[in-house]
Amino acid sequence: MTEPNISISPAVRSPALKKVHIETWGCQMNAADSERMLALLAKQSYELTSSVDEADLVLLNTCHIREKAKHKVLSRLGVLKEIKERRPGMTIAVAGCVAQAEGARLIKAAPQIDILVGPGKIDELPRLLSEHDTSGKRAQAIGFHRHPPALPLSTASAAAVAPPTLSGKREVSRYVNIQQGCNNYCTFCVVPFTRGRELSRSAGDILAECTALVAAGAREVTLLGQNVNSYGSDLADQPSFASLLRAATALPGLERLRFTTSNPHDFTEELAALFATQPRLGRYLHLPVQSGSDPVLLRMQRKVTVASYLERLAWLRQAVPDIALSTDLIVGFPGETDEEFADTMRLVEQVRYGFAFMFKYSPRKNTPAGRYTNQVDEKVKEERLAQLMQLQDKITGEIHAAEVGQTRPVLFHYESNKNPGQFYGRTEHFRLVRVASTVPLTGQVHQVRITSGNKVGLLGELV
């Protein structure tokens, strides 16, 4: 699931000699990777700056999931080129999935790049920096570590410290990577090619990092992986994801534990039942369906049917009757007919997701679907996306309106920078709530009475 650009506030303070400016595109996994790179750079006496103009190092952590994302990176590199012409000492580094997938092509299009580092090799960033500093030449590391699991996964906890945050907004709710890569090979998706095969991190390492984050002030942790359900199958002792969840929910001081992404095909009844017995898991799950049409799901190679997906929702609703759900949806997958799209609209109406990430299908090089000849016309994709978004906005608005008058426990994540005294938090159903308060609320859980709601979120007051 994707998030908007992560804004940056100076969160690392050390006797710094140099400044790094980090821009992060794409999913939570990228946000977590940026924090790990920041942790590595902090050890090299870099501190974070929000200003490109004062940065010694500008690091773009890129996303390749859709074509548009690459174009954004290239246009940003164009702007950086002009800055670098004025300040030749500035180092430009490109990390993330565009670096991995486009490598040589990217350098050809943007020779101003000094460092190129793929998501499977971010532990090599300090070496690349010193190589570039010494030689003045471009340094690069792309590709993947083989077993044992890649170092970037364990960098932070190995040092037994919580990695720094990119933004003050993220100090209460932190990400912890539990695996990298993906073995699912959905026909639309580049992830197995840009992030490699699944590699799980040891449970001990994961729990140590969670503990360090809680000690540093986190109250909520989101465990991250491309398909968290298959966590552990590559480790010698083969721990299950359910066993990891049980151990993590028992950590003292942790208020809430979330996880994403859970691929429905191997989401089990055991995992669903955990929501009933582990209140710290909250009352919310992101379960990407992609389409409401069986033939499309088959062509996507999602390994579920609409009926088996709905069966998983029934398990969840048995555990928590009012569980809130969100999903990812793709419109205009190759060959999608009007009727198949109508099936997706019907599913959305039936499930009533709290929110959804909705995308136009974007053909990706090296993926089977990118080579399908029955691509859907761009205009049709746009119309379908608009229709779907309109429906989802209506449902989200209705769900939020129905919250008015309810009293909910809210974990407050941050205070608005622009409007001090306005605090933002989330309910157990993962609904965003804004509350005005003259006393600080960040990091605390309070009962909040919901006073109004629209398609964006909820307004409330402390009770």
Q: What is the binding site for ligand SAM (CB under 6 A)?
A: 1, 27, 65-66, 182, 184, 186, 188-189, 191, 226-227, 261, 263, 288, 290, 328, 330, 359, 361-362, 364
Q: If phi over 0 gives left and psi between -120 and 50 gives alpha, with beta otherwise, what is residue 115?
A: beta
Q: In whole angstroms, give the CA distance from residue 361 to residue 365.
A: 13
Strands (E), 142-244: 173-177, 179-180, 199-200, 220-224
Closer residue to ligand SAM, CB minimum distance, 28 or 211: 28
CB of 372 to ligand SAM, least distance (A): 12
Closer residue to ligand SAM, CB minimum distance, 62 or 211: 62
Closer residue to ligand SAM, CB minimum distance, 49 or 194: 194
- Laid out side by side, the sheet with 57-62 consists of 46-48, 18-24, 57-62, 91-96, 115-117, 139-141
Number of C-beta neighbours around residue 13 at 10 A: 10
CB of 181 to ligand SAM, least distance (A): 10
Nearest to 215 by CA among 251, 178, 176, 247: 251
Closer residue to ligand SAM, CB minimum distance, 379 or 418: 379
Task: Report the residue closest to ligand SAM, judged by CB.
Answer: 328
CB of 288 to ligand SAM, least distance (A): 4
CB of 260 to ligand SAM, least distance (A): 8
CB of 46 to ligand SAM, least distance (A): 28
- The token duo for 181 is 């890569």
Closer residue to ligand SAM, CB minimum distance, 14 or 185: 185
Q: Answer whether 290's CB lies under 8 Å from 300's CB.
A: yes
**SS3 call for 165:** coil
Closer residue to ligand SAM, CB minimum distance, 14 or 183: 183
In order, the DSSP letters of 335-347 are: T--HHHHHHHHHH
Closer residue to ligand SAM, CB minimum distance, 167 or 326: 326
Nearest to 101 by CA among 128, 62, 60, 59: 62
CB of 394 to ligand SAM, least distance (A): 21
Interstrand relation of 407-415 and 422-427 (parallel, antiparallel or unpaired):
antiparallel
Closer residue to ligand SAM, CB minimum distance, 68 or 246: 68
CB of 119 to ligand SAM, least distance (A): 12
CB of 5 to ligand SAM, least distance (A): 16
Determine phi and psi for 148, rounding to 5 degrees: -70, 165
Helix (H) or strand (E) run with residue 130 in it: helix 125-135
Contacts of 256 (CB under 8 A, 6+ apart): 219, 220, 221, 280, 281, 282, 411, 428
